[in-house]
Structure formats: C-alpha cells, structure tokens
Structure 1
Amino acid sequence: MFLRLKFIAFVAVVSVALAVAVDVDKNADLVAKLRVANTNLDRMNLLPNDADWLFDFTKQDKYTFSPGGVINANSATFPAATGQGMTMSMLNLGPCSMLPPHLHPRAANYVVAISGTTQTYMIAENGARTVTETLQAGQMTIFPQASIHTMMNIGCENAQLISALSSDDTGTTNLANAFFSFPQNISGTVIGGGLNTQAIYGRVPPFGTGSNAGPHDCIAACAKKGKMIKRQPPARDE
C-alpha cells in the first residue's frame, strides 16, 4: 500500500524533525563541461589543479554533530566526482540523532560505521520484511537502490559513518516531505482519516543538514548522563 505509507505517516507524526539535505551546485558550469567532455584527457584538462582533486569533509557547512549532518562528495559539491559513478558521504550523528526515512532513486548505498552505535532499518519494496541492523565500528550494511531506509544513533556519544553510493547524482526523496505534500484527499485517505495531513505537513521542517534530533526518551536519558550536545534550533530554508 504505497510502500507502507501508513508506517511512513506514523514515523512522520511521532518525529518532530524529518529532513534530508539538498546539495547546492558548487560549480554548475564546470560540471556541465565535464559531463560532455569527449575524452578522459579532456576532463583532466578541466581540472588542472591539485586542489581540484581534494575534498575536505570537515570543512563543509553540513559537518556538525549538533544534531548531525550528511556531507556528500558528489558532482554537485565536488566536480571531480562527475562521471566517476559514485558519491562518498560522511554521516555525522550526535547523541540520539537520526537520518529520517528516505530513499535514493539512482543509487545503492553501502554504509560503514566508524564510531558509535547506529540502529538502521530498511524496507526494499512492498511485501519485503523490515531489515534492521545495529552497526558498531567496522561493521557495514547495504541499502539497495530505491529502498526506504533510516538510521539513528542509539548511544550518548557521537556516531560517524561512511556511505558509498553508486552514482555521482544519487537523488534523495524524503518520505515525510513527499507524502504530506500530496492533497488531503490522497494523504488523508491513505492514513485512514481523522488527521489533517496538511497541518502535519506544516510541522515537517524543510531540508537542513540532513540529520535531526531523535526520540525524546533517548534525548532525556542521555541528558541525565550529561552526554547531550547543546542543540541549536534548525533554521528553516525558504
């Protein structure tokens, strides 16, 4: 039923912040030239400096653990990745932080944990079971292309993961934002009635750094241990 949209709607209702970042082109003209270059040598000549081949995750504006961020090295943010067939991402999750349910329409996703304890969930398609893993440092899981997946730091320390995706332009579809942007007569019918889905949509924050605060019980438990990072309210993007 629309990829279990009732489940998706429930997740959106109970979670206050659901957003996945959108990357802004660093140099759209250069990327366009790289895509139409006739040969690899032509592409190399469009990237003449050593600095063109270096991407520093730690210097990007989405590099944060408060609550967290998704930093993508792809054709938009790192022109040298154009035509290479992959995106490399660094996933930062502060205590209790999560990446909300989303999918990548053009890429499979391999995720390796570097630190922390991260719970993951994945639904491949209608009729498929929910696959869940708990990733510790050095462990990996796979989210197949276009599968719905989400992950959350279930510990009180920062978690960091590396994600390799099989496209330099993966695309991201945030399920809460997409579902609640449908008209009320569609979304309300799927949920089963009784909820004003447009009002719910108004509570779903726009795209931010890609990571959001997780469940209140986790945050409260970590706060009692004095482990929580001070959080700033997310700025809304118009």
Structure 2
Amino acid sequence: MDISLFDYDLPPELIAQFPSRRRDRSRLCVLDRSTGRVEHRRFADIGDYLRPGYALVVNNTRVFKARLTGRRVSGAEVEIFLVRALDEAALSWLALARPTRRLKAGERIRFGDDSVILERHRGEGVWEVLFPGKMVRKRIISTYGHVPLPQYIHRADVPSDLRRYQTVYAAKEKTGAVAAPTAGFHFTRSLLTNLQSKGIHVLEVTLHVGPGTFKPVSVQRIEDH
C-alpha cells in the first residue's frame, strides 16, 4: 500500500498547541460504516456508541521527564533522551544523545553539580548512560528533565504538561513511557465512571511507549515500515 494514500490536508492552525481545559470537550468524529454517515460530536458522547458488555482497554503507563539537557566539560550543550532502564535499579539506561558525533565513551555529561557517564556507543546515536546513584538520577530528572512533547507541538514544555500530557488513569508505579498513549487523553474520571455504570468494562494494561512513536515513516510502501 502506497504511503501517499494516507496523505490529507491538515491546516497548522487546527493543531492545538495546548490541551482543552476540559478533556472530554475535545472533538469526536464518528463514522457509521454501514451508511457512510459522518457525525461530529464531543468526546463526552462516546458512551452513545458503546454497548453494555463492551470492554474498554486502557494503557496505564505514565510519562516521565525523559529529555535531559546537560553540558560537556567544554560547556557545549548535550541532549540525553532516556529510552529505558537496563537494570533493576534504573541506574544504567539506554538513551539517545546528540550531537552524537562529538561525544566519546567514558565522557561525563554534567547537570549542575551532578553528572552521568556515557558508557558505550551502540551506534546511530544510541548510548548506554550510567547514573552514579538513585538520588542523583531522581535529582537530575526532576531538575533538568523535560516532558518529551510530540514534534507537532511547536513550543517548549511547561510545568502543567507533566500533568496534562498524561491520561487520568496513568499510574505513578507504572512510570516509564517517553510518550503518552494519546488516544486516551480525552477520558475523565467521571466519564469512565459513567461508562462503567452502563455495564462497560474498563480493563488496564501497561505498555510503555518508546521514542519510535516520534519516528516518521520514511518508506514508500507502508508494508516496508
């Protein structure tokens, strides 16, 4: 299938740069496959299309401030994008670092008085990064971390993004995603409660979303992606 079949016009001014004040007031487009009829509703109306006994499966992963901005000894800025922990203590991490071509294995990247070590380059900008301890890791992420917003959000992250760039059912103990399962952004606690009262089952799974979600499709045939 040729990728051009997925092309459509989306004016930039229609891409919201900040979320709606009320999650469930976002727009909902409904297609009736039997008639081809299209309706434009609000997400709060989704219960009109779900029947008792249906199962609604949600991803309870939680996004953390995975994009770190540090400096080399020379003072040059370096971005460390944490992807996933490689050990149980979460001290060794797989990360994307840039500008990669100037970095060297064994080099320290400083974050104020703290630092991490670039242990090994795996190629294509992927590095193994080592934190010296749990408290240092928490301090660096808390102080120097940024919420990794999608590329179509053309602004810097703000403090409220750590709350709003999450689903309402994101669990603190399930922290580990570098991107949010955005399809669930529009659910509210009250909406989920209303759906359950109608006999709709809400089931949770944990799937940490990785940086691959930001990667554009670069092939002509979608089967080759």
**Shared fold, TM over 0.5:** no
**How high is the TM-score relative to the length of structure 2?**
0.30
**How high is the TM-score relative to the length of structure 1?**
0.28
